[in-house]
Amino acid sequence: MMVGKLGRWPTKHDARNIPFRAIFNLSTMPARPAARDWGQKDGRDVAYPMLGNDEYGDCAYASIVHDGLTLSTQTDAPITVTSKEVIDRYLADTGGDNGAYMLEVVKSIIRKPLGGLVIDAFVEIDPTDDDAFEAAQEFFGGVWCGWALPRAWQGADVWDVGPNTSGIWAPWSWGGHATDSPTYSPGGGGLITWMQRQPYTHPARRSYCEESYGIFSRKLWLGLAQNCPAGVDYQKLLDLLTRIRRQ
């Protein structure tokens, strides 16, 4: 697998963030399938460009654009975000090639869209909460994830846990990374990184995913339909927006 740059900074907490379970009652949400791959449509993979992440530590910006591309492909609401737009925004927001806090990235794009990527709101998801995480993957068309990568994952076909969390298995021993995760299944999930798909197991997510968010874009996830692709009613989505304040 091609390996690009890392650049996610440690989780930045904000008491104003709204937890997923504070809004959603999983028992009343539409039933979700056992597996879903929002990174495919009509048997074809979504095209996820590098967006500068081979040369810059802009993974937080590249991955949130990947999330938007996932949504727009499913609803036939195409967007254009160029590598130059991503790199320029990253450098302007951070003052140089210094990496970024995911929380600051999403807030920045809510305030000012990045190219064609418009974000209305976001909710915080506990990556150790299996039911909430997969429900969010289904409801939001994927989850935006922040990882503390162990060196043991360098070149690994599947991101999984090891015998301990020290040495090459220690979180952050490789570095911090941000990805879009549009896929879930009984065995684990799949994320997008450096233009490729990377499978991971549920235990790996619980151990090494430190923060995750459901990104809501009415323009991209609803398109012109009454229901989003996950089958949730349009009006419920609008009601959701009124309950999530912009940070």
231: phi then psi, degrees, rounded to nearest 5: 90, 10
Distance CA 172, CA 170 (A): 6
Whole-prediction pTM value? 0.94
What DSSP state is assigned to residue 35?
-
Question: Residues 154-185: pLDDT tens digits?
Answer: 999 999 999 999 999 999 999 999 999 999 99
What is the pLDDT at residue 228?
82
Question: Residues 94-134: pLDDT tens digits?
Answer: 999 999 999 999 999 999 999 999 998 899 999 999 999 99
Distance CA 198, CA 190 (A): 5
* CATH of residue 81: 3.90.70.10
For residue 65, what are the domain limits? 20-243
> Domain for residue 14, yes or no?
no
**232: which strand partners?**
none
CB within 8 A of 84, min separation 6: which ones?
Answer: none
* Polymer length of the chain: 247
> Domain for residue 8, yes or no?
no
Distance CA 145, CA 136 (A): 12
> Domain for residue 138, yes or no?
yes
What is the pLDDT at residue 192?
98
Q: How many domains does the chain have?
A: 1
| Three-state DSSP state, 165 | coil
